[in-house]
Amino acid sequence: MDDGGRDRFMTLLGIYDLHRAPIERLGDAVRLQHSPAVAARKQECEEQWLAELEALQLPADIDVSDPLDAMRALAARDRLPRIYKWLAREASWEQVVHFLALEGGPDADFDDLVAACQVGLGGAAKMELATNYWDEMGNGDPAAVHTVLHERLVEAVGLPTIPLAEQPTSALARAAFCGLLATNRWLQPEMLGALGLIELQAGPRCRLVLHALERCGAPPDAMPFYEVHADVDPRHGKDWLEKAIAPTIERLPEWGPRIVRGALWRSAVNAEFLADVSDLLIAPKPGRSAAA
């Protein structure tokens, strides 16, 4: 992606912070959230990005006429990218830590995303998103809230914060993507699809991160965050499809293709990030090219 893309994502991340970051971090700037100049810049950046996302094509063998099957097929396509297998089998401790710092967890921010996604939904879909949200909240146990578990992981392994300026453009796009969905009401179907895909893919990936942590002898406090996601996300993914997406499509059939394209967008944005992180972290084997 060119430098223009990088500027665009940096700009959007700043604007999305006005909508979504903790207020105490923003100070008086939070009052700019809906200023005409900020809104105009946001829309300009998003229009370019949306044109790129809308140009993405579903793989030819995925049939959008059955959105649930299409979601399952999309999730299965790259369920276990190369970098997760490499982490599980051969990455050094430093490389594992570097990866975790860039990845930020399978579902960073997921509680707020689920909360934003449920606005205006009803019935079974709203109930399923509430159930998912409550799991994020540790089912009422403050020590089991997912962000608290992530903080424990950060402390246990001394996870560094990597400044945006030092992250690849694809990492900025991946971080901004949730802001795009969460600050545009009209993209609610796409958001439902994107969050569903995250859930469908997180379980097996977290299991491989756990292997990496165990193999490297990580401290015990590093484990619960990935353990809980390896355990519950397969159920979250299944329930998101069957209890949130299915009843929504029954009520609003025109949402079906849009839910699937949201999953496709997330899949593409995340795949680009993982490919860049692979290039960054995985040294080529002697005699083999880095792209092998």
Q: CB under 8 Å, gap of 24 or more: what pairs does 268-273 form? A: 268/53, 268/56, 269/170, 269/173, 269/174, 269/177, 270/174, 271/78, 271/81, 272/170, 272/173, 272/174, 273/168, 273/170, 273/171, 273/173, 273/174
Amino acid at 177: F
Cα separation, 88 vs 8, in Å, equals 34
Shortest Cβ 227–Fe ion spacing (Å): 12
Contact flags string 176-195 toward Fe ion, x per CB under 5 A: --------------------
Question: Is 103 or 107 the residue whose CB approaches Fe ion more closely?
Answer: 107
Q: Determine the interface stretch with Fe ion among 96-104, 108-116, 213-221, 282-290 (rule: CB under 5 A).
A: 108-116
The whole-angstrom distance between residue 199's C-alpha and the CA centroid of its chain comes to 9
Q: Is 6 in the site for Fe ion (CB under 5 A)?
A: no
Q: Is 243 in the site for Fe ion (CB under 5 A)?
A: no
Cα separation, 41 vs 11, in Å, equals 8
Residues 114-173 that bind Fe ion (CB under 5 A): 146
Close Cβ partners of 274 (under 8 Å, ≥ 6 residues apart): 81, 83
Q: Is 233 in the site for Fe ion (CB under 5 A)?
A: yes
Cα separation, 100 vs 159, in Å, equals 8
Question: Is 128 or 233 the residue whose CB approaches Fe ion more closely?
Answer: 233
Q: Determine the interface stretch with Fe ion among 24-32, 65-73, 106-114, 274-282 (rule: CB under 5 A).
A: 106-114
For the chain, helix, strand, coil in percent to 5 are 75, 0, 25
Determine which residue in the list 236, 243, 258, 261 makes contact with Fe ion, applying CB under 5 A.
236
Residues 42-101 that bind Fe ion (CB under 5 A): none
Q: Is 207 in the site for Fe ion (CB under 5 A)?
A: no
Contact in structure between 282 and 86 (CB atoms under 8 Å): yes
Q: Is 107 in the site for Fe ion (CB under 5 A)?
A: yes
Contact in structure between 229 and 166 (CB atoms under 8 Å): no
Shortest Cβ 263–Fe ion spacing (Å): 15
Shortest Cβ 225–Fe ion spacing (Å): 8
Q: Is 205 in the site for Fe ion (CB under 5 A)?
A: no
Shortest Cβ 156–Fe ion spacing (Å): 17
Shortest Cβ 112–Fe ion spacing (Å): 11
Q: How many residues of this chain bind Fe ion (CB under 5 A)?
A: 5
Q: Determine the interface stretch with Fe ion among 50-58, 81-89, 107-115, 215-223 (rule: CB under 5 A).
A: 107-115
N- to C-terminal Cα separation, the chain:
21
Question: Is 41 or 238 the residue whose CB approaches Fe ion more closely?
Answer: 238
Q: What is the three-class DSSP state of 190?
A: helix
Give the interface with Fe ion as residue ranges (CB under 5 A).
107, 110, 146, 233, 236
